[in-house]
Amino acid sequence: MTSLRVEIDLGKIQANARCLVRRLGARGISVTGVTKAVCGHPDVAKAMLDGGVCGLADARVSNIIRMHAAGIRCPISMIRAPMVHETKEVIRCCDVSYNTEMDTIQNLGAAARDKAIVHNVILMIEMGDMREGISHKNLNDFATRVIATPGVALRGIAANFACMGNVAPTAGDMAMLSRLADQVEGDCGPVVDLVSGGGSANLPWALGDASTGRVNNLRLGEAILLGTDPVTGHPITDLHTDAFTIFAEVIETSRKPSPLLTRSIAPELGMLKLVRNDDLQVRTILAVGQQDTDASGLTFPSGIMIIGATSDHTVVDTAKSAVPVGSEIKMGMKYSALMRAMSAPDVAKVVHGKQTINGSAKDRETHPFLTLV
C-alpha cells in the first residue's frame, strides 16, 4: 500500500449526512451535499446520497463530469458562477447553476435553447461575505430580466457566509434573506421555490431556536465531511470528525540542537548569530509537504508537534522519542488540508466501506490518483 495516502471512512460520512438531514429536516430545511473539497469523489458522493441529501453541488465542472462518469444520477448544482467556456458542459451536466452575472445567464439560456431544454438558475445575493453576489437594490430588476430570458427558469435565491469574512450569519441576516425572497415574488410572482441559506457555518442558526422563515435548504460540505464548524473549528455534536485521515512515512529521525544555527536574512541585522542551547530535540521528517496538503491544517497525535514544512517535507517534534524510519504517522485534517490532499496526484485515496453505484460495484476508479480498497 502506498505510504502517503488519505483513508476515507464512507460509513462515517454517510452517518454525518444522515444525522444532519434528520436534524435539519425537522426544521423544514433540506440538505445539498457539497463535494468540491473531495474533487467530486464518486464514493464520497454516493455516501452523502445514502445519507439522505437531496442532491449534490460542486464548484468545478470536471468534478461533476467525474461523478456522472461514475454513474451518479441525482440533481447536481454548479455553485460557482460558470465560466464562459463551461456553458455547454454546465447545461449538459448540471440541473441548476448559481449565478450573479446577466451575460452568463444569457449564455446559459442560448446553450439551453440549442438543446431544447430549460436550465434552472439560482441567484446568489451578497449578504456581507464580500465574495460573489447581487446587491439587494438590484435584485428585483435582475430577477425580472432573468425571467424574461428564454432558455432559463428562475428557481430561487441563495446566500453565502463565512468564506471570505469568516463571520457566521445571524438570525437577522437570515430574516433578511427571507424578506428578499418575498420581495422578488412581490414583483415577479411565485418563482422562488428554493431559498438556500448558505453552508456549514449556518448550522448554529439552523439548529437553534430562531425561525427559519423561508430558508429551506443548506449546502453542506465541511460539516458532512469533517463534522466541524468552519467558523470556530469546533466539533459538531453527534458527528464524526475522523472520516478522513492522512498517513505519511517517516524518512528521517534524529536528535538535533534547537534552535539551529541561523543567519539573518536582513543584512542590517548583522552577521551570523548563534543562540546557545545544548538541549537536543528529536526531529522527525515525514514524506509529505505543502505540495501534498496544507501542513498547517494537519492535526497530530498527542505528543507530536509540527515544527515546519516545505514543499516535500514536514518536520515534527516527537517529544524526545525517536520514531523509526519507515514507520507511519497518522494525522487528522482540517478543511484546507483535506481539500489540497484530495486534489494532489501523489496522495493515494483509500476507501473503506465502498458501496455499489447503480447496482454495479466499481472495484477501482479509472482515475490514476485514486487507490480504492
pLDDT of the chain, 373 residues: tens digit per residue: 668 999 999 999 999 999 999 999 999 999 999 999 999 999 999 999 999 999 999 999 999 999 999 999 999 999 999 999 999 999 999 999 999 999 999 999 999 999 999 999 999 999 998 899 999 999 999 999 999 999 999 999 999 998 887 788 999 999 999 999 999 999 999 999 999 999 999 999 999 999 999 999 999 999 999 999 999 999 999 999 999 999 999 999 988 876 555 555 555 444 444 444 556 778 999 999 999 999 999 999 999 999 999 999 999 998 877 899 999 999 999 999 999 999 999 999 999 998 655 544 443 333 333 333 3
Give the mean pLDDT of the chain: 90
The three three-digit cell numbers of residue 207, written as one number: 439548529
Burial class (CB in 10 A: 0-12, 13-18, 19+), 279: exposed
Give me the half-sphere count of Cα atoms (radius 13 Å) on the Cβ side of residue 18.
11
42-50 helix and 61-69 helix, angle to the nearest 10 degrees: 80
> How far apart are the two ends of the chain, measured CA to CA in Å?
10
Burial class (CB in 10 A: 0-12, 13-18, 19+), 181: buried
What residues have CB less than 8 Å from 26, skipping those under 6 apart? Answer: none
The three three-digit cell numbers of residue 373, written as one number: 480498497
Which three-class secondary structure state does DSSP give residue 256?
Answer: strand
What residues have CB less than 8 Å from 38, skipping those under 6 apart? Answer: 44, 225, 338, 342
Which three-class secondary structure state does DSSP give residue 196?
Answer: strand
